[in-house]
Structure 1
Amino acid sequence: MKYLDQLVTKVKADSLRMECLKAVRDLQLHDSWVAAGFIRNFIWDQLSGNEIPPVNSDIDVIYFDPGDTRQRSEQEFENFLQSNHTNCSDTLGSWSVKNQARMHHVNRDRPYQNCEDAITHWPETVTEIAIRLNSKDDLEVLAPFGLDDLYNKTVQPSPHFKQHKLFEYKVRQDKKRWIDRWPNLKISV
């Protein structure tokens, strides 16, 4: 991927994001990643020269465990992260932990096979990006549709939303108001 090295370098240089990634790795959840705005907002802020972004989002942690799809388990992980990693949440927003093995019910989709499959059902290609720190302290990136849209500041519906949920995508764009924070985004409908 064209921008992969840039992304990895930027995240490695950010001690706060690395702290968050270590916290998630230490939970030892199956197929776990930190996704969506954690990457998207960070890169857009870097590209736009925003030095101190406002706290207005969350830290999206995803994992895949079909053996335990209880929301209570997700809440326990959130509570643990919120209590033990306040430096992350005080700066980047509250922790949000979701088991993708159950999210197909919420999203009215077919069952997902793993986290990579799950994120291909998210609204925008720039949101369908996840990262994790592996046991060797290397960063792994999951970006099924690449990183071009992210680095070109182009927002477009994912293929799934374009085909099945275009109205929901349009409503989401109106609610997010990303253009207020990043005025040079190109948002397509």
Structure 2
Amino acid sequence: MSGKLAVAKPLNRLSVWGEVSSTTNNTVSVVAGYSNLVSDILLSDEFRVGCLHALRDCQLPQGYIGAGFVRNAIWDHTHNKTELTPLNDVDVVYFDKNDVSIDTENRVQSYLTERLPKVRWQVKNQARMHQKHGHSPYISTEHAISHWIERETCVAVRLTSTGACDVIAPFGLACNFANTITLNSPAKLSPIFIERIVNKGWQTRWPNLQVCGIALSSSLR
């Protein structure tokens, strides 16, 4: 594998994920502040607003759009991009343990494609995805996305009935605004983690990003 990764110095956990490490009133304000900022970023993008409305009309149980849909928009914001980076696909996640049929996922995907045919939709019921990854059963959408490879990717959003953004982020949102890419399970170096960073060209698109949570060999630095 070739590529050069920018590796960050060890981070103070409180400074990066402080909003989920404390119960003070100040922390609550920080959480609300990040959520409001994410909402402002997403709702200012006509493309993302259209996707969120289409998802809401599906009325999926615990249905959200996650991963790069939110993560990339935040990185664009922290890099002061005037135009948001185009998405390769839009990841829809939901949780319905009473119907884990792939046919249902395909029907939802077909509906969304009819609504917005230029979008490459990916729809997955998280009630069955633990089997693919060899995990214990997930109990909710939020629990499921907490197992994704990068902590900055573990974020999802949906529109409420009032048009507000409902954001879930199992590890908080501060890491998303810290320009970091963090391995979710530092004790287990995942080759997929490095491959994703290199192959997706994240540090080329967003050059201020720093890799956290691993010690890389000198050949990858």
TM-score over 0.5 for the pair: yes
Corresponding position: 1:146 with 2:177: no
Distance in 1, matches of 2:85 and 2:55, equals 22
Deviation at 1:170, TM superposition (A): 2.8
What is the rounded CA distance, in whole Å, between the counterparts of 1:54 and 1:9 in structure 2? 16
Secondary structure of the structure 2 residue equivalent to 1:113: coil
SS of residue matched to 2:170: coil
C-alpha displacement of 1:62? 0.3
Larger radius of gyration: 2
Q: Tell me, in whole angstroms, the C-alpha distance in 2 between the residues paired with 1:178 and 1:13.
A: 23
Summarize the alignment of residues 70-109 of structure 1 with structure 2, pairs less than 5 Å apart: 70-86=101-117, 89=119, 94-109=120-135
Higher relative contact order (CA 8 A, sep 6+): 2
SS of the residue corresponding to residue 126 of structure 1 reads: helix
Q: What's the TM-score, normalizing by structure 2?
A: 0.76
Q: Which residue of 2 aligns with 1:45?
A: 76
1:175 aligns with 2:199: yes
Unaligned residue ranges in structure 2 (runs of 5+):
1-30, 215-221
Counterpart of 2:201, as a letter, is R
Counterpart of 1:66 in structure 2: which amino acid?
K
What secondary structure is seen at the aligned counterpart in 2 of 1:18? helix
Give per-residue Cα distances to partners, 1:32-69, cap 9 Å, x unaligned: 00100000111112222333455452111100011111
Deviation at 1:164, TM superposition (A): 4.6
Match of 1:69 in 2: 100
Distance 2:201 2:125 in 1: 27
TM-score (norm 1): 0.88
RMSD between aligned alpha carbons?
1.7
Partner Cα distance (1:171, 1:178) in 2: 11
Identity %: 35
1:183 partner SS = coil
* Structure 1: gaps (5+ residues): none
Letter in 1 for 2:125: N
Alignment partner, residue 5 of structure 1: 36
| 2:53 aligned residue | 22
Task: Determine the C-alpha separation between the residues in 1 that align with 2:65 and 2:87.
Answer: 17
1:113 aligned partner: 139
Corresponding position: 1:35 with 2:66: yes
Counterparts of 1:173 and 1:103 in 2: how far apart (Å)? 23
Q: 1:155 aligns with which of 181, 185, 189?
A: 181
User: Which runs of 4 or more aligned residues in structure 1 lie more than 4 Å from their structure 2 counterparts after TM superposition?
Assistant: none
Q: CA deviation at 1:80?
A: 1.4
How far did residue 19 of structure 1 move?
Answer: 1.3
Between Structure 1 and Structure 2, how many residues are aligned?
182
The change in CA–CA distance for 1:60 and 1:185 in structure 2 (over 3 A counts) is same
